């Protein structure tokens, strides 16, 4: 039997409709602005997010880096969460490539930043300090239980940013999951962002690609940054075609992934040695913490693998499971059973 792969929603394969659209895509050289399929995807992304324009990029990491390089110059500072993907998992690219200084404030368990802490982190105009330019938020928040940031919080953050003349970037890799969980259109979550990035290649199942959305001037400048990073792609319509199908057909089913994640969390929370609050699971990401006496997370991962379930160790006593297209309710039941076997065998 094939293993149940809950390592990430990035393992999703393109749907048959995506493969057909890729095969049939009308193409051109997108660096010359001549790929009509890329153009259609960018227009669709702009429309869905309520922004003037959008830019297609190879990855979420590049989408974030391009956004930061477009907002900030060398010696500028960005305020972001200490658990932010941009801070944690992107090699410090904005510092490495752009000379942009990161200033972290602690993420709260629900993925938000305490806005008073953000206010205190904003630098006064003084030659000793970098210049604060940007606040970066993450929605849903990957390392904070996949929590969605609601519109009311985003509006408060935007009001704070406006007080100090700062911009807001939202890393919305899973913004469609946030919209689904909150029951609001993506446009509402994008409204308070000067730039928003999102991924096609996660829960939306496209093989490759991310978008950055913003106003026309921002996207024109972002296009230059994409080019210098080597992200100008030629007949990229072959990928954009899958992205269009992703946006048209794959967002409405995300509720299924959220229900599966909730069921997984409920099933696991009953097992000995596992600490997990199912109420904290609002989207498709489940973090599982182990009691002090349990074997190391990497060992549990190996044992689960032998039982046909793949997950990621995200700490010495923590693993992550992510639900996605292709994972059924039956798979969730099998995954819970595998955990049961492994936790029992580990004697706790
Ligand atoms: C996956 C992810 C990214 C980066 O996307 P890649 O396409 O893997 O580079 C950025 N931010 C968040 C929150 C993510 O989960």
Give the pLDDT confidence of 320-329 residue by residue, as tens digits.
999 999 999 9
Q: Give the residue, 292 or 140, on which the prediction is more confident.
A: 140
Pick the CATH number of 253-345 from 3.90.1150.10, 1.10.10.10, 3.40.50.1950, 3.40.50.300: 3.90.1150.10
Q: How far is the CA of 271 from the centre of ligand 1 (A)?
A: 31
pLDDT score of 123: 98
13-249 and 253-345 have identical folds: no
Among the atoms of ligand 1, which is closest to the Cα of residue 62?
9
* Ligand 1 neighbour 171 (Cβ under 6 A): yes
Pick the CATH number of 13-249 from 3.40.605.10, 3.40.640.10, 3.30.1380.10, 3.30.360.10: 3.40.640.10
Average pLDDT over residues 173-185: 98
Summary mean pLDDT of the chain: 97
Q: How far is the CA of 178 from the centre of ligand 1 (A)?
A: 15
Q: Which of 155-159, 175-179, 289-293, 307-311 has the weakest average pLDDT?
A: 289-293
Question: Ligand 1, residues 7, 9, 59, 61: which to mutate, most atoms within 8 A of Cβ?
Answer: 61
Among the atoms of ligand 1, which is closest to the Cα of residue 171?
11
Asked whether residue 310 carries a pLDDT value surpassing 60, the answer given is yes
pLDDT score of 39: 98
Q: How far is the CA of 47 from the centre of ligand 1 (A)?
A: 22
Determine what percent of the chain is predicted with pLDDT higher than 90: 96
* Nearest to 281, CA basis, from 259, 301, 300: 259
pLDDT score of 346: 82
pLDDT score of 345: 86
pLDDT score of 196: 98
Asked whether residue 292 carries a pLDDT value surpassing 70, the answer given is yes
* Ligand 1 neighbour 85 (Cβ under 6 A): yes
Domain chopping of the chain, boundaries: 13-249, 253-345
Cα–Cα distance, 265 to 263 (Å, whole number): 5
Question: Ligand 1, residues 9, 12, 56, 60: which to mutate, most atoms within 8 A of Cβ?
Answer: 60
Q: If phi over 0 gives left and psi between -120 and 50 gives alpha, with beta otherwise, what is residue 230?
A: left
Q: How confident is the model at residue 71 (pLDDT cuts 50, 70, 90)?
A: very high
* Ligand 1 neighbour 61 (Cβ under 6 A): yes
Asked whether residue 211 carries a pLDDT value surpassing 80, the answer given is yes
Q: How far is the CA of 64 from the centre of ligand 1 (A)?
A: 9
Average pLDDT over residues 13-31: 98
Cα–Cα distance, 197 to 59 (Å, whole number): 10
pLDDT score of 197: 98
Q: How confident is the model at residue 246 (pLDDT cuts 50, 70, 90)?
A: very high
Asked whether residue 1 carries a pLDDT value surpassing 80, the answer given is no
Average pLDDT over residues 198-205: 98
* Ligand 1 neighbour 60 (Cβ under 6 A): yes
Bridge partners for 288 per DSSP: 319
Question: Ligand 1, residues 56, 142, 144, 170: which to mutate, most atoms within 8 A of Cβ?
Answer: 142
Asked whether residue 348 carries a pLDDT value surpassing 70, the answer given is no
Q: Which of 140-154, 295-309, 333-347 has the weakest average pLDDT?
A: 333-347
pLDDT score of 222: 98
Cα–Cα distance, 236 to 225 (Å, whole number): 17
Q: How far is the CA of 236 from the centre of ligand 1 (A)?
A: 20
Cα–Cα distance, 234 to 79 (Å, whole number): 34
Asked whether residue 347 carries a pLDDT value surpassing 80, the answer given is no
Cα–Cα distance, 324 to 314 (Å, whole number): 18
Question: Ligand 1, residues 8, 140, 171: which to mutate, most atoms within 8 A of Cβ?
Answer: 171
Asked whether residue 159 carries a pLDDT value surpassing 70, the answer given is yes
Asked whether residue 278 carries a pLDDT value surpassing 70, the answer given is yes
């Amino acid at each position: 039997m094939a293993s149940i792969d809950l390592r990430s929603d990035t393992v999703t394969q393109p749907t048959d409709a995506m493969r057909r659209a890729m095969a049939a895509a009308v193409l051109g050289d997108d660096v010359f602005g001549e790929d009509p399929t890329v153009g259609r995807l960018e227009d669709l992304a702009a429309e869905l997010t309520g922004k003037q324009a959008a830019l297609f990029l190879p990855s979420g990491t590049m989408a974030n880096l391009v956004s930061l390089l477009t907002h900030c110059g060398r010696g500028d500072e960005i305020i972001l969460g200490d658990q932010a993907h941009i801070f944690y998992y992107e090699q410090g690219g904005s510092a490495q490539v752009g000379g942009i200084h990161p200033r972290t404030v602690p993420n709260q368990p629900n993925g938000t930043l305490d806005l008073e802490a953000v206010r205190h982190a904003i630098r006064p105009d003084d030659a000793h300090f970098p210049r604060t330019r940007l606040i970066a938020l993450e929605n849903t928040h990957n390392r904070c239980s996949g929590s969605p940031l609601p519109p009311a919080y985003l509006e408060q953050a935007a009001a704070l940013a406006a007080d100090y003349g700062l911009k807001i970037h939202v890393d919305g890799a899973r913004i469609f999951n946030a919209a689904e969980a909150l029951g609001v259109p993506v446009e509402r979550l994008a409204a308070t962002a000067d730039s928003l990035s999102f991924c096609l290649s996660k829960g939306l199942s496209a093989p490759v690609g991310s978008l950055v959305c913003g106003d026309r001037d921002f996207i024109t400048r972002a296009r230059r940054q994409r080019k210098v990073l080597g992200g100008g792609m030629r007949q990229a319509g072959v990928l954009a075609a899958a992205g269009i199908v992703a946006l048209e057909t794959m967002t409405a089913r995300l509720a299924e992934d959220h229900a599966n994640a909730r069921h997984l969390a409920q099933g696991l929370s009953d097992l000995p040695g596992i600490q997990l609050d199912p109420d904290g699971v609002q989207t498709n990401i489940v973090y599982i913490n182990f009691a002090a006496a349990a074997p190391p997370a990497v060992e549990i991962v190996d044992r689960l693998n032998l039982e046909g379930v793949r997950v990621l160790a995200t700490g010495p006593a923590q693993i992550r499971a992510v639900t996605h297209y292709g994972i059924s309710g039956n798979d969730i039941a099998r995954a819970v059973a595998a955990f049961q076997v492994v936790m029992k065998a580990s004697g706790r």
